[in-house]
Structure 1
Amino acid sequence: MNARLLSQDIKPNTSKAVIGVFAPCDPRIDEQSRERCKNLVKHVAESLSGKIKFPDASSAEVVYSDVLVDLEPQADLVAKQFLEAGVNILVCIPDTWSFPQLTTISLLSHFPKDIPINFTTGNSATRPGVVYTHATNGAIAQYGKLSHINIGKWPETGQHPEMSDDTLESLVDWCYAAATFQGLKGKRVVVFGHDSMGMETALPHVMETRNNFGIEITRLDMKLLADMLQKESYDKEELQRLKTWLFSHARERIELPEEKDEQLLEKSLALYLIVRDLMKEIDAVGGGFMSQLEWGSDARGIQLPVADIMESLFNSTFDHNGEKEVIPFATEADVQGLLTQLFMTWLSGGNPPLFMDFRKAYGSEDAKELAKKHNYESKKGEKWTEKGFVDGVNSGSASFNWAAKPEASEKDIMSKISFPKAVDYFFYLGNSVHFVSPGEIKGIAARLSYSSLSGMFSMLWDETETVELPEDIAKEVCAGANPTWPHTFVVPRYASMLEYKQYAPANHFHMTWDLNPARLQYWMDFTNTLSLTPWQERPRFIESKDRPLPLVYILNGGEERTKIKLAGR
């Protein structure tokens, strides 16, 4: 037999997240019940199709098998069907009792141990699939594999049962987490420059990131960018289109007091085109840029323009070419910040991240003093005075989208942004990005961290909401930090301001809108990431918000203990 040369025409779904839906069954069960099982599998698959979106606006592929997994031969057949289709996420839809080891457990033996599997079932039936779910989930937990169950609801009779909306919603959340986990394997991010200003909380833990998340970190020297700027290695016609686009939205709000300032602006815009093309060349899904100190604020070197506009463009859903994919981008080469943004952007289906300094946390007393100073009478239930708030502010990485509410148009967003001269310790200067985010944007603010003691990653997080301050108070708060940078006033839902101030794992934190806790929790299960919510006011489990605790955690003494054990520590 001769060796076979492989074709260079790769299947579109290769290395992507592909969801496979199947059903176990008992070969002794009547034909009508078996037909109902097949109909249910098709219904679940079609309900999921198109629901799981990636940042590039594509959807996770969903496939299903109409072969009921009765015994080992059917388990092998369906497994081979799924392997042929590139399936790396399993959704099992039991509607009848069956034999766990002869069905799903035999099917699982064909796949890597970390493949996500979900059992979604109705709560009871004449031939109870829920019994099969508990039996199989229990068996899987005993041999140490993670699985999740979704005990939902669908009619107990009829040939074409349909899931309840809540059942589907729970399954969609799980699928988003599974698709993020599998979809990012083999992807890479690129970071320009070395360690982020010596900040240990931002270091690129290359091997640990590879082992835990399957993500590669490519590091390129900023000298390459400096050289390409000097050589003008970019499309000059496109640069003019980008500049024209920016001027069409904000010419009167771009501070350009001298002719040289316009040249600096052009260089900073050219930087976006250069970095964009380099990232595309190596198929990077995220990036970071060190900037300080060597790039633009060390007087011993050749000064180069600030990268604020570039970073904002990457994190936005549009640029001069129209709608685009969000490419999470971190200022100051903050790799752990970049990974936080990357995971939450994927979990939310492509929503823009916000990179912020944890600049100043105003407690309720601080907020009330501000209100009193400005003769402002706070209203009952006004979050910023009753609880306090964090002034989230940073010179780079602020997505343009956060200047307005999630549904806002490009025109509306850009009308709220100004581009003042950067602060003077960036000696070569250039233009910053400034806006104040509106209130009532809800999501999750979080921060990934790493500990050499445990060898594990953790995610500190809380649900959060933005608030608006009265204009004169907002101006004072902005001036107290930096009036030329973007500001977002954030209120955590469960953390007290004392807790929030004390437990921040770094000087940066990150928020993504329309991301619910269950998706993040499922993803932390898949990646064996510790979930940190040390807030006294947060219950251990919030029904209809949190994902139910996997059985493997309960059997092994709790979530943290099990994750540490799984990490081999």
Structure 2
Amino acid sequence: MSASLLSHEIKENTSKAVIGVFAPCDPRIDDNSRKRCKNLVKQVAGSLSGAIKFPDGSAVQLVYSDILVDLEPQADLVAKQFLQAGVNVLVCIPDTWSFPQLTTISLLSHFPKDIPVNFTTGNSATRPGVVYTHATNGAIAQYGKLSHINIGSWPDKGQNPKLSKETLESLIDWCYGAATFQGLKGRRVVVFGHDSMGMETALPHVMETRNRFGIEITRLDMKLLADMLQKETYDKEELKKLKSWLFSHAKDRVELPEENDEELLEKSLALYLIVRDLMKELDAVGGGFMSQLEWGSDARGIQLPVADIMESLFNSTFDHNGEKEVMPFATEADVQGLLTQLFMTWLSGGNPPLFMDFRKVYGKADVSELVKKHKYKVGENDKWLEKGFVDGVNSGSASFNWASVPCDSEKEIMKNISFPKAVDYFYYLGNSVHFKSPGGIKGIAARLSFSSLSGMFSILWDEAETIELPEEIATEICEGANPTWPHTFVVPKYATMTEYKQYAPANHLHMTWNLKPTRLQYWMDFTNVLSLTPWQSRPQFIEGEDRPLPLVYLLNGGEERTKIKLAGK
């Protein structure tokens, strides 16, 4: 038998998440109930189709089988169908009782142990699919595999039952967690420069990141970028287009007082084109840029323009070519910050991340002092007065989108942004990005961290909301930190200001809007990342906000203990 040469083409779904929907059934069940099972599988697959999106706007692929998994032969057949289709996420829709080991457990034996599996069922007594769900989930938990159950609701009678809105929403959230987990395996991020200013909290833990998330970190020297800038290795016509686009939105707000300032601006814009093309060549899903110290603030070297505009463009949903995919990008080569942004962007379906310094925390005493100093008359909607806020500010990576509210147009966003000359450490080489984020943007603020003691990653997180301060108070705060950088004033939902100050795992914080806790929690289950919410006022479980704790955690002493045990295997 001779060897076969593979085609040079690959399937479209390769290296992406593919969800397979199926149903178990009892071979003794009547024909009408069996037809109902098939109809339900088709209906669930149709409801999920197009509902889970990757950051590039493409939908996660859905396949389903109308072969009911009655016994081992059907389990083997459906498993092989799914494997041929590239399925790496499983959704089981039980509507009747069946035999766990002969059905789903036999099907699971064909897949890697870490494949996400969800059991979504109605709470019915007629043909007790819920009984099957508990029996199968319990068996899976006993042999140490993670699975999630979604005990929802659909009509007990009728041939074409439809999931309730809440049941479907819960399943979609789970699918986002699973698609992010599987979709990022085998992908890479590109980081320019070495360790970020010696910050241990930003180091690229290459092997740990590879082993835990399946993500590769490609590291390139900044000399390559310097050389490509000097050689002008970029499309000069496209550079003109990019500059013209920027000026069309903000020419009167681009500060260029010195003779060579416009040339420096052009170099910083060219840097975006160079890095974009390099990342495309490497099929990267995110990036980072060291900058300090060698690039633009070490007087011993040749000073090069700041990368603030470049970083902001990557994190935005548009550029000079129109709408685009958000490409999570970290300033100061902060790899753990980059990964935080990457995971939350994928979990949200592509929403833009905000990279910021965890700068000054204004507690109650600080707020009272500001109010008194400015003789501010307190209003009803001043949320920042209740417990304080954080001034989130950094020189780079702030997505343009955060200059306005979600869903605003490019024009509305850009009119709120100015581009002052860079100051402080950067010797006036290029332009910064400045805006103040509006209030009322809700999401999750978080930060990934790593511990060599446990060999595990963790995420410190809380729900959060931006606030808008009175102009005179906001101006004082911006002037006190840096008036040329973006500022976002953030209030955590559960953390007190004392807790926030004490438990920050790094000097950078990241926020993504419209990201639900359940999606982050499901993803942390799949990746075995520790969930850190040390806030006294946050309950252990919040009905309607948190995902129910997987049974395998309960059987092994709790979530943290189980994850630590799994990490040690």
State if a TM-score over 0.5 links the two structures: yes
Does residue 338 (structure 1) correspond to residue 342 (structure 2)? The answer is: no
Answer whether contact 1:312 1:399 (CA < 8 A) is retained.
yes
Residue identity opposite 1:236 in structure 2: K
Q: CA deviation at 1:428?
A: 5.1
**Cα distance, 1:381–1:245 mapped onto 2, change above 3 Å:** closer
Tell me which residue corresponds to 1:556.
556
Answer whether contact 1:95 1:125 (CA < 8 A) is retained.
no
Does residue 410 (structure 1) correspond to residue 410 (structure 2)? The answer is: yes
Tell me which residue corresponds to 2:39.
39
Does residue 300 (structure 1) correspond to residue 291 (structure 2)? The answer is: no
CA distance in 1, matches of 2:398, 2:321: 19
CA distance in 1, matches of 2:140, 2:485: 51
Tell me which residue corresponds to 1:240.
240
Residue identity opposite 2:40 in structure 1: L
Tell me which residue corresponds to 2:195.
195
Residues 113-262 of structure 1: pairs in structure 2 closer than 5 A: 113-262=113-262
| CA deviations over 1:341-393 (Å, ceiling 9, x no partner) | 00000000000000000000000221121011111122245211111000000
Answer whether contact 1:97 1:132 (CA < 8 A) is retained.
yes
- Among all aligned residue pairs of Structure 1 and Structure 2, give the percentage whose two residues are the same amino acid: 84
Tell me which residue corresponds to 2:107.
107
Tell me which residue corresponds to 1:362.
362
Partner SS for 1:425? helix
Answer whether contact 2:286 2:342 (CA < 8 A) is retained.
yes
Answer whether contact 2:421 2:428 (CA < 8 A) is retained.
no
CA distance in 1, matches of 2:170, 2:452: 34
| CA deviations over 1:68-107 (Å, ceiling 9, x no partner) | 0000000000000000100000000000000000000000
CA distance in 1, matches of 2:352, 2:516: 15
Partner SS for 2:260? helix
Tell me which residue corresponds to 2:74.
74
CA distance in 2, matches of 1:421, 1:39: 62
CA distance in 2, matches of 1:512, 1:73: 45
CA distance in 2, matches of 1:381, 1:513: 21
CA distance in 2, matches of 1:125, 1:386: 48
CA distance in 1, matches of 2:370, 2:480: 12
CA distance in 2, matches of 1:378, 1:505: 33
Let me know the Cα RMSD of the aligned residues: 0.7
Residue identity opposite 1:2 in structure 2: S
Q: CA deviation at 1:124?
A: 1.4
CA distance in 2, matches of 1:349, 1:533: 24
Tell me which residue corresponds to 2:455.
455
Partner SS for 2:426? coil
| CA deviations over 1:324-347 (Å, ceiling 9, x no partner) | 000000000000000000000000
Answer whether contact 2:422 2:432 (CA < 8 A) is retained.
yes
Does residue 278 (structure 1) correspond to residue 278 (structure 2)? The answer is: yes
Residue identity opposite 1:493 in structure 2: K
Q: CA deviation at 1:125?
A: 3.2
CA distance in 2, matches of 1:437, 1:526: 33
Q: CA deviation at 1:303?
A: 0.5
Answer whether contact 2:138 2:551 (CA < 8 A) is retained.
yes
Tell me which residue corresponds to 1:502.
502
| CA deviations over 1:491-549 (Å, ceiling 9, x no partner) | 00000000000000000000000000000000000000000000000000001110000
Tell me which residue corresponds to 2:16.
16
Answer whether contact 1:296 1:428 (CA < 8 A) is retained.
no
Partner SS for 1:257? coil
CA distance in 2, matches of 1:121, 1:436: 46
Q: Tell me how many residue pairs correspond in the alignment.
A: 569
Answer whether contact 1:303 1:428 (CA < 8 A) is retained.
no
Q: CA deviation at 1:427?
A: 2.0
CA distance in 1, matches of 2:308, 2:425: 14
| CA deviations over 1:401-450 (Å, ceiling 9, x no partner) | 00000011000000000000001321252100000000000000000000
Does residue 479 (structure 1) correspond to residue 475 (structure 2)? The answer is: no
CA distance in 1, matches of 2:429, 2:475: 23
CA distance in 2, matches of 1:4, 1:330: 44
CA distance in 2, matches of 1:401, 1:425: 26
Tell me which residue corresponds to 1:352.
352
Tell me which residue corresponds to 1:291.
291
CA distance in 2, matches of 1:157, 1:424: 70
Residue identity opposite 1:219 in structure 2: R
Residue identity opposite 2:325 in structure 1: E
Tell me which residue corresponds to 1:421.
421
CA distance in 2, matches of 1:238, 1:503: 45
Q: Please, which moves more after superposition, 423-432 or 16-25?
A: 423-432
Tell me which residue corresponds to 1:378.
378
Q: CA deviation at 1:14?
A: 1.2
CA distance in 2, matches of 1:378, 1:89: 51
Tell me which residue corresponds to 1:446.
446
Residue identity opposite 1:431 in structure 2: N
Q: CA deviation at 1:127?
A: 1.4
CA distance in 2, matches of 1:393, 1:228: 30
Partner SS for 1:563? helix
Question: Structure 2 length as normaliser, TM-score?
Answer: 0.99
Tell me which residue corresponds to 2:53.
53
Q: CA deviation at 1:276?
A: 0.2
| CA deviations over 1:191-218 (Å, ceiling 9, x no partner) | 0000000000000000000000000000
Answer whether contact 2:422 2:428 (CA < 8 A) is retained.
no
Partner SS for 2:154? coil
CA distance in 2, matches of 1:364, 1:54: 41
Tell me which residue corresponds to 1:388.
388
Does residue 400 (structure 1) correspond to residue 400 (structure 2)? The answer is: yes
Question: Structure 1 length as normaliser, TM-score?
Answer: 0.99
Does residue 264 (structure 1) correspond to residue 277 (structure 2)? The answer is: no
Residue identity opposite 1:281 in structure 2: E
CA distance in 1, matches of 2:163, 2:253: 52
Unaligned 5+ runs, structure 2: none
CA distance in 1, matches of 2:259, 2:139: 72
CA distance in 1, matches of 2:273, 2:489: 31
Partner SS for 1:421? coil
4+ residue runs over 4 A deviation: none
Q: Please, which moves more after superposition, 375-384 or 177-186?
A: 375-384
Partner SS for 1:191? strand
Unaligned 5+ runs, structure 1: none
CA distance in 2, matches of 1:139, 1:89: 19
Partner SS for 2:120? strand
CA distance in 1, matches of 2:414, 2:158: 53
